[in-house]
């Protein structure tokens, strides 16, 4: 179900007036999100940290989905805030069994901190090449 969605169950409401039939039961859903995913309709969105080296050189990352973990290939020279779409890994579509929205992953590149003297020296050498 979706946040704010109302469903009606016919005949399960309050007693009818003067012996009339029972009314309808209306249930409104308020959903609190305690997951790392943000939802928009049937699609899910998540941001994951990507280390600088993997962003530059490429590699693999393991990401959580709604139903487990998957391995994604990261292309070399991936830019900050690049998005990857995982088709069918989103939220289940209401009243459509076996159908799901998509999951969109945004890569957020993390810059290394607390560099050693050797790391600083290597970055200076790289800067000279540019």
Q: pLDDT tens across 22-58, in order?
A: 899 999 988 776 678 898 889 999 999 999 999 999 9
Any domain includes 129: no
54-85 per-position pLDDT tens digit: 999 999 999 999 889 999 999 999 999 999 99
Nearest-angstrom CA–CA distance, 104 and 65:
10
Within this chain, do residues 106 and 87 fall inside the same structural domain, yes or no?
yes
- Reference 54, options 41, 40, 72, 70; nearest CA is 72
Together in a domain, 44 and 22: no
Whether residues 81 and 59 fall in one domain: yes
Judge contact between 55 and 40, C-beta under 8 A: no
The whole domain housing 48 covers 35-113
**What's the predicted TM-score (pTM) here?**
0.72
Q: Are residues 21 and 73 in the same domain?
A: no
């Amino acid at each position: 179900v979706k946040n704010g969605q109302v469903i009606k169950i016919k005949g399960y409401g309050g007693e009818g007036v003067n012996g009339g039939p029972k009314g309808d039961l209306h249930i409104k859903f308020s959903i609190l999100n305690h997951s790392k995913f943000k939802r928009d309709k049937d699609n899910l969105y998540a941001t994951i940290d990507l280390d600088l080296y993997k962003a530059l050189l490429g590699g693999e990352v393991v990401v959580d989905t709604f139903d487990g973990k998957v391995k994604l290939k990261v292309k070399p020279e991936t830019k900050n805030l690049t998005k990857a779409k995982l088709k069918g890994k989103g939220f289940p579509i209401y009243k459509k069994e076996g159908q799901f929205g998509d999951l969109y992953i945004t890569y957020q590149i993390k810059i290394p901190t607390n560099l050693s003297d050797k790391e600083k020296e290597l970055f200076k050498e790289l800067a000279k090449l540019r």
